[in-house]
Chains A and B, each alone.
Chain A
Amino acid sequence: MADKNKDLSRRGFIKKSLGLAGLLGVMSLPVPQLMKLRKDSIAGRGLTSKNPANQAQLEGKARAWGMVIDLKKCDGCVNIETPPQCTQACINGHYGPNGQQWIEVFEKELAGGGHYFMPVPCYQCENAPCANVCPVAATYHDEDGVVLVDHNRCIGCRMCMAACPYQRRFFNWGTPKLPAAAALTKYSPLYPVPAVKGTVIKCMFCAHFLHDGKLPYCVKGCPTKALYIGDLNEDIATNGAEVVQFSKFLDENSAYRYKEELGTQPRVWYLPGYGQLAGRTPRDHRPLMPPQWLWGDDDSNRCVGIWPWGEDF
């Protein structure tokens, strides 16, 4: 040891003392700040594909993100004559490839012949069939219960798509045509931009926002505030305008889950309704408007022609 100290060169010394000072400086920061620093440095959570689902410790404790969709408030955005704004906000925010609606609004029948609108994101099932069948754990639950896809690992076998009973998974059949800005984004399973050819993609609850206390694009985008996002552990949910107690909110509004009998245990609940709070009647026959993509084109999903040298590619 003594010999080594003697050999300490000037440059080496400066280097070491600087390092020490830096270390001390960092250590002197209060712990929460340190956590934040660390979080910021891992800009997108879930970056490490080697060791997924290790990120939630950053917060100290796991969350259990859940969503409530109040169908009483959802009018499919027909009143404002726009495409469903949740879908549109999600597409815009994620540079969603043309044709993919990670949250899609479906027209469903009511018992008496009228119909209602049902927005469907990925349900982040607790007993997720998609995560069960994945051969390489490219689809997995993170610590907060969000079902993520690691696009650097997915082999594109599409087992998960066959397994999902809600058609909530999309495949990037070709190279997605995206705007230039998408290429500059740093990819993470929590923010899968840009989309990767030959892999499966879907809604991931915008979980990168949730930890920062921000709302998902769709929740923020909904003009009637029909979408609530919250934490089952803390028993709290919000739609951006009001804050409710998660469990009480479910109980008092007769919440149900779609295809509950399958046992997938979705983390998304519906409150029955037909958009009455947004001034819609069950017999309102105005249809949904399709969402818009400013990138890609109709060709993105076009089938191939008869010959490879034709125009069809």
Chain B
Amino acid sequence: MKAGDIGGYRERLERTVFNPLTQTSVGFYLLVLVLLGVVGWGLYAYIVQLRFGLLATGLRDQVMWGVYILNFVFFLGIAMAGTVISAILRLTHAGWRTPITRMAEIITVAALMIGGLMPVIDMGRPERVWEIFVYGRFQSAIVWDILVITTYLIGSLIYLYLPLIPDFALMRDRLSDGASTIKRKVINLLALGWQNTVEQKHRLEKAIGIMAIAVVPMAVMTHTVASFIFAWMLRPGWDSTIYGIYFVVGALFSGLATVLIVMAITRRVFHLEEYITEKHFRYLSYLLLTSLLLYLYLVVTEFLAIGYKLKLEEKELLNLLFTGQAAPWFWFFIIAGFVIPAFLLVFRVGQTIHRIITAAIFINMAMWVSRLLIIVPTLQVPQISESLGVYTPSWVEWSITAAAFAGFILIFTVASKLIPLVSIWELAEDAETEAHSESTGEVAEAG
């Protein structure tokens, strides 16, 4: 890019990215309305559940956890997205990450909010949730969970906010006319008096650098501690030391897939084709394939270790998974989670983006099922009686699950109207350095 193009590039960038903030289409309102409807229906289902108790779910004494805990683990997994994209790629100086970091970070925040809500919905006595803060015992994985998830959420919010400051300043300078006074004041406040001075930039870079390092252990801890809820139990399948890393890699896997899907949608809806290019999809798909292989490795070693020894209860679990009631789910998980995506990611037939997105969608469906397979069959295996536990989720559970997904999309949609989905100043800076290095290169050649 020529140095002279920078001005035009920047103007176009601002126009494209700010467009959703200033213009709202009918489609947007329609989408929000539909999402609100689904969330409202979920709320109604929850009220029914409050009234009748968890009797309104399909859960019973033997299988006492179901889709709520499943969603909890699933959304936590998705929350890995932000960290891997923005923190890990930042630490490794992968320059191409810039246009997707903000989106990934929003996904993290939204997923943590929804995921964190799930265990409360699962509680028999949600009105006593405050007791955890008063009587909490550190011996319990739940207390750890609350601690790390809150830390991760706060860390992610800070990490989302820091790179937003210059963009808020830009909004303050560019979008102030026409906006209401309240909105202007809020943006003014959020911009923190940013004037783009060298000193300010230096400090911001430093703060972002620190947060980028800090959120990585937070993410790892979140998934590890979530796995402790299961790994600390004397149950077939759960009673395993592999669970910590198993959850971390699983989260990586579904987090990456989610970023890809969100990228594809926002790219189309907000016309970001110039900034989110095929290159981004391709690079991310390499990461996706890597995490697929890692996850496959863990799944295979885990089942090999169990299957080789065939301890009584674990044998029953394997029967259930491979050929029993859970077999359709299990084989769906294997095929949709590994076989199809691996095929799509390795053999490059068809249009790149479509191919990668198809893989990502399959992976996310498979990962939801994988959480189901982690939780339900283990609980079905009888511990002392002879009969398998039964579990069919009720409409209440499905409604709340649908509401959770709708809520997740809703948070993202609303965020897309409030903050620029792409980090303008960082992109512009990237373009400038690129142009600069090109021009100095020319000078060097000339000299």
Using a CB–CB distance below 8 Å, which chain A residues touch chain B? 100, 104, 106-107, 120, 129, 132-137, 153-159, 161-175, 197-200, 258, 262, 264, 301, 303-308, 313
Contacts and interface: CB of A to CB of B under 8 A. Distances in A.
27 contacts: A104-B385, A133-B232, A134-B137, A135-B137, A137-B135, A137-B137, A153-B131, A155-B123, A155-B124, A155-B125, A155-B131, A156-B123, A156-B124, A157-B123, A163-B233, A166-B383, A166-B384, A171-B124, A173-B54, A173-B55, A174-B54, A197-B53, A198-B124, A262-B234, A304-B396, A306-B395, A313-B56
Contact of B140 (A104, A134, A167, A169): A134
Interface residues of B, number: 49
Contacts, number: 147
Interface in B122-160: 122-126, 128-129, 131-132, 135-137, 139-143
Given A158-B64, A162-B64, A173 B136 contact: no
A304 B394 CA distance: 6
Interface in B40-95: 45, 48, 52-62, 64-65
B424 interface: no
Nearest to B396: A304
Contact of B394 (A133, A164, A199, A303): A303
A153 B135 contact: yes
Contacts of A262: 234
A-B pairs, top 5 by smallest CB distance, nearest first, are: A156-B124, A198-B124, A174-B55, A135-B142, A135-B140
Contact of B61 (A132, A171, A304, A306): A171
Interface of B: 45, 48, 52-62, 64-65, 119, 122-126, 128-129, 131-132, 135-137, 139-143, 229-230, 232-235, 379, 382-386, 392, 394-396
Given A136-B135, A157-B142, A162 B395 contact: no
Contacts of B382: 167
A158 B234 contact: no
Contact of B124 (A167, A199, A304): A199
Nearest to A159: B142
A31 B143 CA distance: 44
A195 to B, nearest CB: 12
A133 B128 contact: no
A132 B143 CA distance: 12
Given A155-B124, A161-B61, A173-B60, A106 B235 contact: no
A304 B142 contact: no
Contacts of B126: 155
Contacts of B233: 129, 133, 162-163
A157 B122 contact: yes
A132 B131 contact: no
Residue with the highest number of chain A CB atoms closer than 10 Å, among B124, B142, B386? B124
A123 to B, nearest CB: 10
A170 B124 CA distance: 12
Nearest to A158: B64
B136 to A, nearest CB: 6
Nearest to A306: B395
B61 A170 contact: yes
A264 B383 CA distance: 14
Contacts of B141: 133, 159
A136 B137 contact: yes
B399 to A, nearest CB: 9
Contacts of A136: 128, 131-132, 135-137, 140
Given A136-B136, A171-B124, A199-B125, A303 B392 contact: yes
B132 A155 contact: yes
Given A134-B137, A137-B135, A120 B119 contact: no
Contacts of B137: 134-137
A247 to B, nearest CB: 26
B126 to A, nearest CB: 8
Residue with the highest number of chain B CB atoms closer than 10 Å, among A135, A137, A163? A135
Contacts of B143: 135
A115 to B, nearest CB: 11
Contact of A171 (B64, B131, B234): B64
A135 B136 contact: yes
